[in-house]
């Protein structure tokens, strides 16, 4: 039975979660944004307001749309209140953390609730295997920055119901996104193709062929909007590293996906990119 998506909850108010919340709220949906940390929720609202203000200045967002968007978002720090027709999980790229969280979300929600994970690399079937309702979970992978980027990958696990995929396609279009349906495979489409944009660039650094500024400059002048090192800083060096490790493991440690020691050192030093003020560049 098809149940219309009216109430949406986002779990995780970090970079992706808050931008997804903004995109969904701008699409006219009522959004509950959950995080265990109150300070992160406050920061999320401040940054969403800042994004909307930039949109107003550029003439891409009306003042009324800004007001409506902010009115559509409610923040909470109690997980038992995370209920809705669609729950979008946007926490760290860790199988155990995601699985434990989604199990809890399944328990407190109704049978018709769709649980979508924003994972960029973890197989949906692997997560679904732990659930009582594996047909109600799918991947809904947004791209950073989620309130701007149009593409969304909708990933079907082996048990995902076709009505769930159709509902997510309709929802994605309603919030102004371009959905692409993908079968469950490591890295899906975009991250599998893009992985070497990062991995090969990092190998150039390891081999000391040149520095990261030169690589970025060359690729940007070649036509890419953002070089790999600037892009890793935007996404989060830690997030990018986690995705690379996940894909490396999923392909049975194929050397062509091997994570970089340089990137690992950045993560261990806490140099995660723009969100920490330092990554491959300083901010």
Domain assignments of the chain as residue spans, ordered by start? 7-183, 191-268
The question of whether 191 is a catalytic residue gets the answer yes
**Residue 252 is among the residues annotated as catalytic for this protein:** no
Q: Which CATH class is domain 7-183?
A: alpha beta
pLDDT at 187: 87
CA distance 142 to 158: 21
Cut 0.85: pTM above it: yes
Q: Minimal CA–CA distance to 155: which of 212, 111, 114, 100?
A: 114
Q: How far apart are CA 153 and CA 54, in angstroms?
A: 27
Task: Write out the H or E segment, with its range, that includes residue 74.
Answer: strand 73-76
For residue 141, indicate whether it is catalytic: yes
The pLDDT value recorded for residue 1 is: 59
Known catalytic residue at 153: yes
Which of 51, 121, 156, 191 is labelled catalytic? 191
CA angle 10, 90, 122 (to 5 degrees): 140
Q: Choose the catalytic residue: 51, 141, 172, 250.
A: 141
CA distances from 248 to 93, 129, 135, 182 (A): 14, 21, 27, 19
* Residue 180 φ then ψ, to 5°: -125, 125
Give the pLDDT score at 267. 97
Catalytic residue among 51, 72, 118, 120: 120
Q: What is the pLDDT of residue 55?
A: 94
Contacts 24+ apart (CB under 8 A), 275-279: 275/15, 275/236, 279/229, 279/232, 279/233, 279/237
pLDDT per residue of the chain (283 residues) written in tens, 0 to 9? 566 899 999 999 999 999 999 999 999 999 999 999 999 999 999 999 999 999 999 999 999 999 999 999 999 999 999 999 999 999 998 999 999 999 999 999 999 999 999 998 899 999 999 999 999 999 999 998 999 999 999 999 999 999 999 999 999 999 999 999 999 988 899 989 999 999 999 999 999 999 999 999 999 999 999 999 999 999 999 999 999 999 999 899 999 999 999 999 999 999 999 999 999 999 9
Is the CATH code 1.10.1040.50 the one for domain 191-268?
Answer: yes
Catalytic residue among 72, 153, 156, 271: 153
Query: How far apart (Å, rounded) are the C-alpha atoms in residues 89 and 75?
Result: 15
CA distance 140 to 172: 9
Q: In what helix (H) or strand (E) does residue 215 lie, and over which residues does it extend?
A: helix 212-222
């Amino acid at each position: 039975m098809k149940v219309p998506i009216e109430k949406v909850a986002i779990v995780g108010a970090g970079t992706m979660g808050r931008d997804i919340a903004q995109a969904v709220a701008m699409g006219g949906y009522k959004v509950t944004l959950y995080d265990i940390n109150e300070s992160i929720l406050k920061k999320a609202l401040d940054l969403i307001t800042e994004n909307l203000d930039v949109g107003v200045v550029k003439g891409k967002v009306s003042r009324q749309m800004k007001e409506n968007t902010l009115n559509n978002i409610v923040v909470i720090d109690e997980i038992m209140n995370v209920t809705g027709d669609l729950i979008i999980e946007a926490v760290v790229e860790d199988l155990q953390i995601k699985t434990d969280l989604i199990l809890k979300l399944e328990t407190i929600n109704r049978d018709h609730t769709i649980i979508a994970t924003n994972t960029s690399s973890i197989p949906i079937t692997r997560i679904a295997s732990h659930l009582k309702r594996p047909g109600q979970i799918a991947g809904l992978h947004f791209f950073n920055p989620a309130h701007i980027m149009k593409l969304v990958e909708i990933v079907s696990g082996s048990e995902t119901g076709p009505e769930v995929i159709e509902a997510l396609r309709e929802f994605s279009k309603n919030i102004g996104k371009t959905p692409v349906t993908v079968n469950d495979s490591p890295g899906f489409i975009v991250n599998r193709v893009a992985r070497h944009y990062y991995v090969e660039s990092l190998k150039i650094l390891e081999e000391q062929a040149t520095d990261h500024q030169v690589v970025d400059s060359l690729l940007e002048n070649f036509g890419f909007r953002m070089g790999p090192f600037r892009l890793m800083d935007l996404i989060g060096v830690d997030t990018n590293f986690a995705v690379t490790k996940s894909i490396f493991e999923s392909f049975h440690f194929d050397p062509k996906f091997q994570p970089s020691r340089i990137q690992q050192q950045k993560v261990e030093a806490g140099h995660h990119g723009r969100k920490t003020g330092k990554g491959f560049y300083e901010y």
